A and B are shown apart, each in its own frame.
Chain A
Amino acid sequence: MEYIILSMTLLAIGIYGLTTKYNMIKLLISIEMITAAASMNFVIFASLLNDTLGQAFMILALSVDTCMTAVALAIAVVIYRKLGAVDITELSKLRE
């Protein structure tokens, strides 16, 4: 259970990045960190409870997370081509 504090620290760092950064790539890095903290919990509990099902869940979660990153990056590239910036404060210009 002691590793939970470590995953909570990773979660806090991810939330810090998510709330203070405006670059879309930095936001994606923060989201990656949050999902790494979540999947770390799967692995920790799988290890402590001696159950491989947690590893299976972690593998499934990590695959979907990678797909999410790919989609978000594709959207970021399209937004950059349209607006010339990856700053999320510029996204309101997409309405125009």
Chain B
Amino acid sequence: MVHEIILTVGLVTSAFFAVYLEEPVYAVVSLALMNIILSLFYFSLNVPFAAVFQLAIGIGTVAVLLLTGEMFTRKTYTAQTIRKKLLGLVASVLLSIPSILSVGAMTATTQSSGFSISSALWDLRFIDVIAQGLVVLTIALGIAMILRKKRSDG
């Protein structure tokens, strides 16, 4: 109960700061923090595969990608004052109140699933996994083409 409230406040606050902060580096760090808290939420819901995947993709890939993209671009933001940041903190805590009330009122208990994630992936969604592999390959080739064309221009 208490840890769910702490996770809820942390999740909403980090999500709000990821959008609210003007400095892109801090915003990406806040997004990574949101992904960590989200994966902790998934662990508390007893869905460990989703939690590990969220942790690996959210922090290991997306945050690194966004930081790399930010590194390639110029900083054009204006720094926020401490007062504005505190205002954002108060706003995010207020924003998390409905979630706290609803999570606190939750009475249902969750249980782990009966059959494995690998059978769900490879038996039920086999075509989806193959199609997604093709999509990822196509996207990788597309990114290579975008950057290669630019290099040949320059």
Contacts and interface: CB of A to CB of B under 8 A. Distances in A.
Interface of A: 2-3, 5-6, 9-10, 12-14, 16-17, 21, 23, 25-26, 28-30, 32-33, 36, 39-40, 42-44, 46-48, 50-53, 55-60, 62-64, 66-67, 69-71, 73-78, 80-81, 84-87
A85 B75 CA distance: 9
A69 B19 contact: no
A2 B119 CA distance: 29
Given A25-B69, A48-B108, A55 B47 contact: yes
Given A25-B24, A67-B136, 9 more contacts: A2-B103, A3-B103, A5-B102, A28-B69, A43-B47, A52-B49, A56-B117, A56-B121, A67-B135
B-side interface mostly:
helix
A56 B45 contact: no
A51 B113 contact: yes
Interface in B94-133: 95-96, 98-99, 102-103, 105-106, 108, 110-117, 119-121, 124-125, 128-129, 132
Contact of B49 (A13, A21, A50, A55): A55
A10 B31 CA distance: 12
Interface of B: 8, 11-12, 15-16, 18-19, 24, 27-28, 31, 34-35, 38, 41-42, 45-47, 49-50, 53-54, 57-58, 61-62, 65-66, 68-70, 72-74, 76-77, 95-96, 98-99, 102-103, 105-106, 108, 110-117, 119-121, 124-125, 128-129, 132, 135-136, 139, 142-143, 146-147, 150, 154
B12 to A, nearest CB: 6
A64 B143 contact: no
Contacts, number: 184
A77 B19 contact: no
A58 B139 contact: no
